[in-house]
A and B are shown apart, each in its own frame.
Chain A
Amino acid sequence: MSKKGDMLYAWTNDSALAKKAECGGAVTELLKYALESKMVDAVLAVKRGVDLYDAVPTIVTNPKDLDACAGSLHCGTLLLSKLVVEYVPKMSGKKLGMVVKGCDLMGLLELSKRKLVNLDNILMVGVNCGGSVSPVTARKMIKEKFGVDPNTVTKEEIDKGQFIIEYEGGHKGISMDELEEAGYGRRSNCRRCKLKVPRQADIACGNWGVIGDKAGKATFVEVCSDKGAKLLDAAIKANKLSTEPANPKGVELRSKVESSMYKLGDKWRKKDFDILAPTLWETIAKETGRCMKCYACIDHCPVCVTIADKWKQPDQMVRAGFIPADPMFHLRRFAHISDSCINCGQCEEGCPSEIPLALFSHAIRTEADKFFEPKLGKPAYTN
């Protein structure tokens, strides 16, 4: 019987899925089994759209359809948390399985805090994430830095600090540091992220720490909750999944990878925040002074929740019909999320005015928080 804290290697017994999925396909298999066994009524997953740069959320109810969601898409920068609230209302009261990376997880925890999702009804299969690359940036990077036509790329991965592509005619890896120094690479919020293994999910999976003959063929699984243990045991019992205890050296390596990612996150935080600090308010004023009031930063934010009759009351502090938006548009938003910005980057990525919104709210959340007691918000995670 598994229990919280267990660490093991797991792989699917379905050879077709193993071929299609990455690292043993345990994530897909677990969710498939959750659907088959009716532990969940549906799975909110991500599939490939027009190509590998296009990540598309989908709700799957037929276990077979989950195969199409196997594998990772590092060039998809979706946040699934808010979709649960906005587009899956018919799931209320039903059980939903989800794959969550760190930001998806934090978003769900924040929404739960606001009583907008009931985590009892969500089975979270976490995946470790070292960061993602926006699709258009990824294509440019592959064209300009790799010298490869992005349309010919068949696979991409981030491994051992490199962004690696396989394409028609070869494969190539370039260090993420080099790419990021040149203005490519992961989104800036991902660079600062320190939630790499989502241990507040029910189960945390990934490839960090899989060594020896299982390298590339098994998934590292950490059991994080009773719900997670139950799922894993049932899947093993049903002969869907095989496991073996994680190699202790692998566990050590996993911890090393994680701590080196933390260090890198700290480095980027220092860099980004140090640039911002001396001219903080001037920068915020100048940058937000271009706001065209598209509301993307609010709509896409998993911790911003607008009131139902928002458009019925005149706003005293932000005049209707004027752009750039009056300063309180953003100052108010920063205040609202000061205790819970998860640095998911959706605000910044969606901003048509190129305002580094995630940088600002992340700086407020983490930098300002140093001086507050009690701390701004008390989450179950650290980021």
Chain B
Amino acid sequence: MSNEALKYVPTTCPYCGVGCGLNLVVSDGKLVGVEPYKRSPINEGKLCPKGMTCWEHVQSPDRLTTPKIKKNGKFVDASWDEALDLIVKKFTEISKKHGPKALGFQTSCRTVNEDCYALQKWARCGFLTNNVDNCARICHGPSVAGLSLSFGSGAATNPFEDVLNSDLIVMWGSNAVEAHPLAGRRVMQAKKKGIPIVVVDPRYSATARLADKWIRFNPSTHIALANNMMYYIIKEGLEDKAFIAERTKGFDDLKTMVQKYADATNIHGVPQETVKEFARQYASAKNAVIIYCLGITELTTGTDNVRSMGNLSLLTGNIGRPGVGVNPLRGQNNVQGACDMGAYPNVFAGYQAVAVPENRAKHEKAWFLKEGSLPEWYGSTLTEQINDAGTTIKAMYFMGLNPTVSYPDSNHVRRQLEKLDFCVMQDIFWNESCDYADVVLPGTCFAEKDGTFTSGERRVNRVRKAVDGPGQSKYDWEIIALLAKKMGLKGFDWKSAKDVWDDMRSVTPGQFGVTYEKMEKPESVHWPCPTIEHPGTPILHIGKFSAADGKGTMFGLEYRPPAEVADAQYPFSLMTGRVIFHYHTRTQTDRAKQLHYEVPESYIQINTQDAKELGIKEGDKVKVTSRRGETITKARVSEDVAPKVLYMAMHFHQGVNNLTNTALDPLSKMPELKHCAVKVEKVA
């Protein structure tokens, strides 16, 4: 027996974007549990049901342990050399024949920054393509776009804990208690302090139950409601005139636009008295913060919805100091980081635009590429790549993704993947999408590698290796490096995750000062952090916005209805979301005993009146159908959703994404995952 009979490895939870610290417990090289990491300032040892059980899937017998190649329609075990040689051969052939736009590279936001950086570097260096994206595209892509337009930086403005400095907390389209439970905890703490909480949500969610005031509005009518509020704020002279004059532009556009929303109850469904009262409350609070989430973003108006949150904060001067701000709760553990790492079709790491010649030249030099070789064009986004599969896109590389379950319109995704000439899936489990691959590679999970996750508050948290990966699995960045080296590329001689991180730092000014050494303590660093001496930036936009002119911008934004609205044939509006007990497509969470016990299958929330009319009772099996497909699920009958509104969680195979709509937000290319028209019937 050695000292290692009981070893605590402090690391970061692999689930949501809060970035909770936890201790993985290792005994003789085996993972045996999770214990609180009370030293973490983020969660003080507290964890949600997912965090508590996050170790259970790691040593599952279902883990991928060897590379597999599809031969004659069947997957057979292969050596690493055989699998990687095949990938290099196919990708090179296709790229030579069809050009750099024929390839698509996608990384999960679940994996460490180092993996994300490695993948985009390989795509850009190896194939001179910008067709690289990450699944933030279908989660907070509109936040990146919208907040950049409003404030000049596409990230959350204030840390989670800062809500305790507020005088009013507005949660808009965020069910933090289920989707970001330890950010939800901050709101619970705030409530105990007596800080009023307003939850704006069509559904009486677990978070709405915390609210002092819950405002139910019609699904997807955010802009109309925000404009209506701003109409009253301006009409009653409650706007922050000094702030507007000094720090913003676009007020006149906004003012003109909101005149049209003097009474928009017919759109959003909220009584005018309530709108007026809420508007006054928000405008007159000394410090008011808006926390929003995917209720805002996953719509074809996503970017404008985000900008509407920006408008509210700029109009009332609620930005750039403690207790205020506009904070998207980033969904996945590393959704901030995957974007920061440049796994994005128009930017390198640190949001350095590929369209800027100096940025390309800098990267060409750093990456040993020929001058003028990196492309300036805007690459194809996540679901655009799927839509173009078989036409312009011939081969795709997925790292840690399960597109046939998590992307909109699963039937479409399945049809499209079939059309690819070549497809690689790199994952830790055989997920439902692996059937569509030609090569499947075994990567390593959070407990088996070093690295970093960047949380929703821009804090870069260390991920520490606790145990070895199973079988022949490799670090994901290592797999990418092997591929690159097989192609003869220079600049991939990383020996450790830290080497990858330092490679990224060397080309990313905003994160140059974020070193592994500084991440040793759990306080770590919030980027921007441009120099080694820099302490990091917990709160953005103090005194000056990040935009080139230093100003915040207000926009006059018109309400637009969703791409598909309820009609006689499909009379229900279907919303989607999460449950606390599962993460995304459940490859990990369903392997935890409690989580599987709590929610083993999908369900649909339906209003009591609708259920009565359709003869549906609690627990009945129902069929839900949209123009794109159908799913069978179980009814949960309550008043939590309004009449003619339904709600389903996103986690299940052959589930809600059989129904969802691929229509895109023009600015961010976000598909309309949160809103489609369906019909529902009882299954005999």
Contacts and interface: CB of A to CB of B under 8 A. Distances in A.
Interface string A346-361: 0001111110000000
Given A42-B1, A87-B33, A352-B182, A321 B8 contact: no
Given A295-B49, A299-B52, A323 B3 contact: no
B192 A321 contact: no
Given A311-B593, A324-B206, A353 B38 contact: no
Bin the interface of chain B by size.
Answer: 35 or more
B521 A311 contact: no
Interface stretch (A26-34, A57-65, A165-173, A212-220): A57-65
Contact of A294 (B32, B52, B210): B52
Given A50-B522, A136-B38, A299-B52, A321 B596 contact: no
Contact of B41 (A76, A139, A295): A139
Given A59-B6, A88-B5, A295-B594, A134 B522 contact: no
Among B33, B39, B209, B593, the one with the most A-chain Cβ atoms within 10 Å of its Cβ is: B39
A296 B46 contact: yes
Contacts of B599: 320-321
Contacts of B212: none
Nearest to A76: B38
Contacts of B7: 58
Nearest to B603: A321
Interface in A130-144: 134-136, 139
Among A311, A321, A350, the one with the most B-chain Cβ atoms within 10 Å of its Cβ is: A321
A323 B52 contact: no
Chain B, interface SS category: mixed
Contact of B2 (A61, A77, A136, A151): A61
B436 interface: no
A321 B5 contact: no
Interface in B26-68: 27-28, 32-33, 35-36, 38-41, 43-49, 51-52
Contacts of A177: none
Contacts of A42: 1, 5
Nearest to B51: A294
Bin the interface of chain A by size.
Answer: 35 or more
B598 A293 contact: yes
Nearest to A53: B39
A284 to B, nearest CB: 15
B177 A354 contact: no
Contacts, number: 140
A90 B39 CA distance: 28
B579 interface: yes
Interface in A145-172: 151
Contact of B597 (A51, A135, A311): A311
Interface string A305-344: 0000001000000001101100000000000000000000
A292 B181 contact: yes
A233 B178 CA distance: 57
A83 interface: yes
Interface string B506-524: 0000000000000011100
B591 to A, nearest CB: 12
B580 A350 contact: no
Interface in A61-105: 61-62, 65, 76-77, 83, 86-88, 90
Contact of A83 (B6, B184, B188, B520): B6
A272 interface: no
A352 B48 contact: yes
B35 to A, nearest CB: 8
A290 B598 contact: no
B181 A311 contact: no
A59 B5 contact: yes
Nearest to A290: B188
Nearest to A356: B192
A42 B43 CA distance: 32
Contact of A86 (B33, B39, B185): B33
A352 B181 CA distance: 8
Among B23, B43, B181, B597, the one with the most A-chain Cβ atoms within 10 Å of its Cβ is: B597
A300 interface: yes
B38 A134 contact: yes
A56 interface: yes
Given A50-B520, A56-B8, A350-B46, A292 B177 contact: yes
A88 B39 contact: no
A266 interface: no
A61 B6 contact: no
A36 interface: no
Contacts of B593: 311
Contacts of B36: 296, 300, 349-350
Interface in B161-191: 177-178, 181-182, 184-185, 188-189
Given A136-B44, A295-B52, A295-B594, A354 B189 contact: yes
Contacts of B188: 290, 353-354
Contacts of B594: 295, 311
A272 to B, nearest CB: 15
A150 B520 CA distance: 15
Given A54-B39, A292-B181, A87 B6 contact: yes
B38 A294 contact: no
B41 A136 contact: yes
A134 B44 contact: yes
B25 interface: yes
Nearest to B521: A50
A88 B181 contact: no
A352 B43 contact: yes
B572 interface: no
Contact of B6 (A57, A65, A289, A320): A57
Nearest to A83: B6
A135 B38 contact: yes
A292 B48 contact: yes
B407 interface: no
Contact of B192 (A320, A351, A354): A354
A49 interface: yes
B178 A50 contact: no
B295 interface: no
The 9 residue pairs across chains A and B that have the minimum distance between CB atoms? A54-B39, A352-B46, A311-B597, A59-B6, A59-B5, A311-B593, A321-B599, A135-B39, A136-B44
22 contacts: A49-B10, A58-B8, A59-B5, A61-B1, A61-B2, A61-B3, A86-B32, A90-B1, A135-B39, A290-B177, A292-B178, A292-B184, A292-B206, A293-B580, A295-B594, A320-B597, A320-B599, A321-B598, A321-B603, A323-B206, A350-B36, A352-B181
Interface of B: 1-3, 5-8, 10, 23, 25, 27-28, 32-33, 35-36, 38-41, 43-49, 51-52, 177-178, 181-182, 184-185, 188-189, 192, 206, 209-210, 520-522, 579-581, 593-594, 596-599, 603
